[in-house]
Amino acid sequence: MIVQASNIHEGGGLVLLKELLPELCKSAQVTLFVDARFLSNNKISMQNTANLNVVSVNPTIICRLKSEFQMYFLSKHNPEATVFCFGNLPPLLPIKNRVLLYFHTVLYFKPFLLTKKRFFLKIKHLIERAWLTWGLTSVKEVIVQSSFVKESFEREFGFSNITVFPFTPTTSVDDNTSPQSSTDKNIDFVYLAAGTAHKNHDNLIKAWNLLAHEQIFPTLHLTIDSRYSKILSAIEASKNSHKTNIINHGMIPHNQAMVLYKKAKAIIFPSICESFGLPLLEAKSLDIPILASELDYVRDLVDPIESFDPNSSKSIARAVKRFLTIRDNKNQVRTVAELTSYLKN
């Protein structure tokens, strides 16, 4: 088997690929094309994985194109090998082998393609969408994580051989890290996500500002790394101006994320779009209450204890107050007679 994962190095893709590789190697000789960042910082140990040949691909355009040619010639010399594209993009060059594409993003769909993001990312995603459209001619089957993605993919790319096959990691944190009682739940809310635009940190931080204006200061734990300077600045401004209780951990490995989950009273998930929403399933498996966007991708997986409009910081704040059993002040509805009396005065 030839596995193309040249752009996998963080997030849910990293977690799933780490889980998948040992299983693939049990039954096949695997050549893995993978982002060099995936191999760095001990994100995965290849020493104990038999039947695995690793090709490290530096995150540059030239190196990525070089890996496509390497994969093309390798598949040509191994016509019986299955080519499994795990990084959302099919082969750039025409391949006659059995090619399977595991597609686990929504960022190439038109409703999300030009959402608020950096100009470079818009161009990058437009180019990758063109790559996806071009390379589908080599793909025998597309595998996705949800019915929402299946329907969207078929509608936008006219490709019908699509299978819904979500899977989740089976590994977990050592049981010794699990809280033994409710007193160990010393975190109010966690949202462990990168700072990409669709993760919607802007509205979440604004919601915490609104809560602080009402003298409500729940803790919120985030994982924003240095690439997202605007969000980091918004966090600092929120803490300084509104005295919000926001704690940012930066990028952390999955096992540390699971520790934070187990200490949390709830997770909050305001993402505007997801192909799967792995943190939702992780929270569900740990019996952690979920506050999430009222969107299809959420309801495909879980039933949140509270839901909200992710485009409204006020709606997010109100959901937090409902969870904390804090009464929300409503506008008093008056009668016509009362309005008449008010006008006379």
Judge whether 224 lies within some domain.
yes
Tally of structural domains, the chain: 2
Same-domain check for residues 289 and 203: yes
Predicted local confidence at residue 140, as pLDDT: 97
Q: What pLDDT shows up at residue 112?
A: 75
pLDDT tens figures, 23-70: 888 888 999 999 988 877 545 555 556 788 999 999 999 999 999 999
Q: Could you report how far apart the first and last alpha carbons of the chain are, in Å?
A: 83
Sign of the C-alpha dihedral computed for residues 76, 160, 150 and 61 taken in this order: positive
Boundary-marking domain end, from 141, 164, 187: 164
Domain shared by 126 and 86, yes or no: yes
Contacts of 214 (CB under 8 A, 6+ apart): none
Within-domain flag for 225: yes
Residues 35 and 160 placed together within one structural domain of the fold: yes
Which CATH number does the domain housing residue 258 bear? 3.40.50.2000
Query: Does residue 260 share a domain with residue 157?
Result: no
- Domain region containing 157: 2-164
Spell out, as residue ranges, where the chain has pLDDT lower than 50: 42, 172-177, 179-180
Tens-digit pLDDT profile for residues 282-295: 899 889 999 999 99
Q: Are residues 126 and 191 in the same domain?
A: no
pLDDT for 116? 57
Q: Convert the pLDDT of each residue in 182-199 to its tens digit.
A: 557 889 999 999 898 889
Pick the last residue of a domain from 112, 136, 164: 164
- Pairing label, strands 162-164, 187-191: unpaired
What is the rounded distance in angstroms from the CA atom of residue 48 to the CA atom of residue 244? 45
pTM over the 0.95 mark: no
- pLDDT of the residue at 345: 80
For residue 255, is it within any domain? yes
Task: Report yes or no on 330 lying in a domain.
Answer: no
Question: Are residues 186 and 123 located together in one domain of the fold?
Answer: no
C-alpha separations of 134 from 11, 65, 304 in Å: 26, 15, 39
For residues 240 and 318, membership in a common domain is answered with: yes
User: Identity (one letter) of the amino acid at 230?
Assistant: K
Residue for token pair 């991708």: 297
Give yes or no: residues 14 and 130 share one domain. Answer: yes
- Same domain for 34 and 77, yes or no, is yes
The pLDDT of residue 174 is 43
* Residue 257 belongs to some domain of the structure: yes
Q: How many helices (H) and strands (E) does the chain have?
A: 13, 13
Q: Are 147 and 230 members of one domain? A: no
Domain-ending residue, one of 98, 131, 164:
164
Reduced to 3 states (helix: H, G, I; strand: E, B; else coil), residue 245 is strand
Q: How far is CA 101 from CA 50, 54, 82, 132, in A?
A: 24, 19, 11, 10
